[in-house]
Amino acid sequence: MSLIQTKCADDAMTLVLKKELVAHLKCTITGLTFWDPSCEAEDRGDKFVLRSAYSSCGMQVSASMISNEAVVNILSSSSPQRKKVHCLNMDSLSFQLGLYLSPHFLQASNTIEPGQQSFVQVRVSPSVSEFLLQLDSCHLDLGPEGGTVELIQGRAAKGNCVSLLSPSPEGDPRFSFLLHFYTVPIPKTGTLSCTVALRPKTGSQDQEVHRTVFMRLNIISPDLSGRTSKGLVLPAVLGITFGAFLIGALLTAALWYIYSHTRSPSKREPVVAVAAPASSESSSTNHSIGSTQSTPCSTSSMA
């Protein structure tokens, strides 16, 4: 019964059964129907094609799955062969690509920084228990400045800086990567692209569904983000520098003021004495002049 190919598109389920694939079974298939026997397949010579809208032929429609039953009538058997068939309701599914700052996958972000590990998770909602979500490939497009960085190829990590992590409790695939730049200028933006596949846990692999999800990222570096090697933001560094300069200037001014008011008077500029106007006044004038030239080191008069 795995020879039946199931496809869902345009609000309809289509079953295809090629006659050549069952020729080696040495049996003759006389018909193919859904659970509702009135919904019969069209015989196109080399294959049977059975098609029905989601709203008829006994279709069961859930949030994420379309289900029915395929009934194969065989000429040599009195009882038909029955098989459950289902496909994804792609109109109801949403794929999300998330970037996180820690392995706990709690704080979402859209920014990566070279030299710091980033964590990625891909999820589909609502969850589909009958299908397994897998990462086929991922790459980071950095534009003409940085080119393309391959992260995952063929469901395998590409390089030592990429690690495939254990899935989430809901089965969402996860991985981490570390980005380095060895050229300048460093790109400011990039696009993370991942191709994912929903594969049935049992049954034919022809029911695989592939999707590509994108996420736009901002890229920062220590000089662009305003961080120094010690983790201080640029405004803080400038504030500290200005504060140190201001304190130094005030301290210098204070020291100069103290120095200029406490240095020895002998080192100050000399006081020029005015000559006495007349000899008759020499006694009083000499006494006055002697007092004017006194210094803290010698307070006696020169008269």
CA–CA separation, 292 and 302 (whole Å): 10
Omega prior to 169 cis, within 30 of 0: no
Q: Give 23-35 pLDDT, tens digit per residue.
A: 777 778 888 999 9
Q: What are the CA-CA distances from residue 122 to residues 71, 89, 116, 168, 217 (Å)?
A: 37, 19, 20, 10, 15
Confidence class for position 20, pLDDT limits 50, 70, 90? confident
Q: Which residue has the higher pLDDT, 257 or 94?
A: 94
Asked if the model's pLDDT at residue 40 lies above 70, the reply is yes
Asked if the model's pLDDT at residue 289 lies above 70, the reply is no
- Set out the domains of the chain in order of their start, with CATH numbers: 5-91 (2.60.40.3210), 94-225 (2.60.40.4100)
Radius of gyration of the chain (CA): 45
Q: Give 144-161 pLDDT, tens digit per residue.
A: 878 899 999 999 999 899
Confidence class for position 275, pLDDT limits 50, 70, 90? very low
Q: List the beta bridge partners of residue 267.
A: none
Segment (H or E) for 176: strand 174-178
Q: Give 178-189 pLDDT, tens digit per residue.
A: 988 877 788 999
Q: Give 43-54 pLDDT, tens digit per residue.
A: 988 889 999 999
Residue 196 is predicted with a pLDDT of 94
| The amino acid at 243 | G
Helix (H, G, I), strand (E, B) or coil at 103: coil
